[in-house]
Amino acid sequence: MTKLGVISTVAVWWRPVEVEGYSMLPAYLPGEQVWARRRLRPPRVGEVVVARDPQRPGHFILKRVVSVCAAGIDVRGDNAGASTDSRAFGLVARRDVLYVVPRSRRTVKE
């Protein structure tokens, strides 16, 4: 496999995500980069996910899964005072949760 082929394969399964804002403090800092893996199974309670932003089409949110039910997924920011999350916009549709952030994939932006 060529170098370009390896990069293309990685790009299909992994995506770098830059943390914006203070909603995930203290777990994630603004400006920090994390690697997110394409979701292959339903998200689990406690996992951090990347989902389509229900309030801003074309944007994404980074939130922690609080509960999973048939109606959708309840996501919240770790910093409740600085987070717009399911308390404001309701449950997120399962199809809109695109990536999961494994704990071992944290990187710090230089």
pLDDT, tens digit, 9 for 90 and up, residues 54-66: 999 999 999 999 9
Residue 8 in any domain: the answer is no
Tokens of 82: 């600085």
Print pLDDT tens along the chain (110 aa): 455 554 555 567 888 999 999 999 999 999 999 999 999 999 999 999 999 999 999 999 999 999 999 999 999 999 999 999 999 999 999 999 999 999 755 554 44
pLDDT at 28: 93
Residue 26 in any domain: the answer is yes
Q: What residues make up the domain containing 58?
A: 15-107
Residue 70 in any domain: the answer is yes
Residue 39 in any domain: the answer is yes
Residue 7 in any domain: the answer is no
Instruction: Name, in order, each residue with C-beta under 8 angstroms of 88's C-beta and a sequence gap of 6 or more.
Output: 55
pLDDT at 109: 47
Residue 85 in any domain: the answer is yes
Distance CA 77, CA 51 (A): 13
Residue 6 in any domain: the answer is no
Report the CATH number at residue 25: 2.10.109.10
Residue 38 in any domain: the answer is yes
Query: Per the structure, how many domains does the chain have?
Result: 1
